[in-house]
Structure 1
Amino acid sequence: MKVRRLAAAAAAVAALLALSTGCAKFVEPYKDAPRSGHDNGAPADLVRMPDGFSNVATKCDHGNRLYTAYHGDKGYASIAVVRDDPTCAKN
């Protein structure tokens, strides 16, 4: 009986640890590089793709168009830049 109780307690602790680490992304602070400011001007244009494909965000920055491809909440993305994009006004 004591072995069962110990096994049940160990299983409960393991389940609790699994649940708490699964939600750690929501309480983890951003680990961004240092930055000099924020661009809270115009919002980025989003291109949402069907499930299984990466989404894209695009925004102008000082006359250059930036594209960032991301996939959900994953820790990776790719970036492309169109230098001196005529659709972007220099600021």
Structure 2
Amino acid sequence: MKKSTRLALAAVAAAVALVATGCSSKYAEPFKDAPRSGHDNGQPADLIRMPDGFSNAATKCDGPNRVYVLYHGDNAYGSIAVVPDDPRCTK
């Protein structure tokens, strides 16, 4: 293979990698992950920010239940926990 062909292929591969990783950000398109019936902006969530390398968390009341959501930057994983009838979630 000629040197110019290899350079062209490397440039195309780099451009494809840049576009593929730049378009995958969860933060670039908020609320595009699943259908939803609405949103609750009445009370802000409490954020628990951990040091770098550890998952962050957010917590908020949903009716009488407290919901915890863990997330780690732009990675594809996280978790949800619910505390039913949490006394801090009174109306």
Same fold (TM over 0.5): yes
CA distance in 1 between partners of 2:37 and 2:72 (Å): 27
Give 1 or 2: higher helix fraction.
1
1:17 aligns with 2:16: yes
Displacement of 1:31: 2.4
Distance 1:8 1:81 in 2: 53
User: Kindly tell me: are residues 61 and 28 of structure 1, through their superposed partners in 2, closer, same or farther at Cα, counting changes over 3 Å?
Assistant: closer
Question: What are the equivalent positions in structure 2 for 1:1-91 lying under 5 Å apart?
Answer: 3-26=2-25, 30-32=32-34, 34-90=35-91
Q: Which runs of 4+ in 1 moved over 6 A?
A: none
Q: Give the share of equivalent positions with the same residue, in percent.
A: 60
**Aligned AA (1:86):** P
Residue 62 of structure 1 deviates from its aligned partner by: 0.6
Residue segments in structure 1 that go unaligned for 5+ positions in a row: none
Rounded to whole Å, the distance in 1 between the matches of 2:63 and 2:46 is 16
Tell me by how many angstroms 1:28 deviates. 6.1
Structure index of larger Rg? 1
What TM-score results when the alignment is normalised by the length of structure 1?
0.83
Number of aligned residue pairs: 88
Provide the rounded CA distance (Å) in 1 between the counterparts of 2:36 and 2:81. Answer: 20
- Specify every segment of 5 or more residues in structure 2 that has no aligned partner in the other structure, as ranges: none
